[in-house]
Every structure is written in structure tokens, then in C-alpha cells.
């Protein structure tokens, strides 16, 4: 358990620079990290999953696609921020910009912005829905990059289906 705390805390035996030492000095306690992770992750899941059907029922609840786009985007941002509680913001940003997941990160962030632009600025529901789907796919591809051989398995599965 201690090794897991060290790895998630960014203390896995690397040489520490001044920035890393400053980051370690300002880190949260393990319990606080777990609470922050759970709160952000659950809030993200609630916004992304549970509000989807409610916000798409425009006739019944007077919501609509703009509300769906905002809630879905907030949900994805909360889910992304939840991992920052576990490994720290600096390490999260380094992981996001790693060669393996840089393209997925860029596509995901661009789709986050374009979803909101399509919903509010352009007022195009079809584009907003398309960007929500692309956002989901990019976020899924980004998440799969953390699981060894997961991307290869997905590619192989789709190649077998085609």
C-alpha cells in the first residue's frame, strides 16, 4: 500500500528538482486526495451520464441540447480533474502531453471547446451533438492509453469486425 501511495504521489524514486520538491511540499494528505478524487469523479459521472437523458427531453423538462453540452463537458472536465488529485496537477499535465496521448489530449480539449461553441455561439444542435460524440471518443481513447495494450486490443477488435 505504501508503494502505491508513493507511485500515485509522484515519489517513485526519481531525482527531484526544485519544482518537484515545491510540488511535494504543497501536496494534500492521502485521505484528502482520495476524497477529492471521489467527489470529482462522481460529480463528473453524474453530469456526463445521469443528466444526458434528462437534458435531451426538451418537451418534458425544458432543458435541451445546450444544457446537455454544458453538463457533458463539465462532466468530462471533472473526470479529468479527478485524476489530478491522485497524481498531482504537474504530473497529470506531463502525462497528458506525453507522446502516447498528446494527439488524444489535443482532440479532446478542442472538442470540449467546440461543443460549447456549437451549442451557444453557433446555435447548431447537430454540430454540438457531433462534438459531444467526438469528445466521448477522444476521452475514451485518452483513457485507454493508461491501460497497457488496451488501444491495440481495441484496434484489433475493430479490424476483426470490418
Cα–Cα distance between 93 and 106 in angstroms, integer? 12
Number of domains forming the structure of the chain: 1
Cα–Cα distance between 89 and 83 in angstroms, integer? 8
pTM across the whole model: 0.73
Cα–Cα distance between 67 and 121 in angstroms, integer? 13
pLDDT tens by residue, 65-123: 787 888 889 999 999 999 888 888 888 899 999 999 999 999 999 999 999 999 889 98
pLDDT tens by residue, 13-71: 544 565 566 556 556 788 888 899 999 999 998 888 776 666 556 554 456 778 788 88
Q: Tell me which residue range forms the domain holding 12.
A: 2-161
**Residue with grid cell 497497457, as numbered in its chain:** 148
Q: What is the arithmetic mean of pLDDT over 151-155? A: 93
Amino acid at each position: 500500500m505504501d508503494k502505491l501511495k508513493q507511485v500515485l504521489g509522484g515519489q517513485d524514486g526519481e531525482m527531484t528538482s526544485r519544482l518537484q520538491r515545491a510540488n511535494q511540499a504543497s501536496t494534500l494528505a492521502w485521505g484528502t486526495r482520495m476524497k477529492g478524487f471521489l467527489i470529482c469523479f462522481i460529480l463528473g459521472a453524474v453530469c456526463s451520464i445521469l443528466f444526458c437523458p434528462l437534458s435531451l427531453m426538451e418537451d418534458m423538462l425544458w432543458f435541451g441540447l445546450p444544457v446537455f453540452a454544458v453538463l457533458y463537458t463539465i462532466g468530462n472536465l471533472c473526470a479529468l480533474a479527478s485524476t489530478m488529485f491522485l497524481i498531482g496537477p504537474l504530473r497529470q499535465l506531463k502525462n497528458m502531453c506525453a507522446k502516447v496521448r498528446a494527439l488524444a489530449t489535443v482532440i479532446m480539449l478542442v472538442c470540449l471547446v467546440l461543443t460549447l461553441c456549437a451549442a451557444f455561439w453557433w446555435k447548431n444542435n447537430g454540430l454540438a451533438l457531433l462534438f459531444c460524440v467526438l469528445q466521448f471518443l477522444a476521452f475514451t481513447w485518452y483513457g485507454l492509453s493508461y491501460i497497457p495494450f488496451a488501444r491495440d486490443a481495441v484496434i484489433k477488435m475493430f479490424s476483426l469486425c470490418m
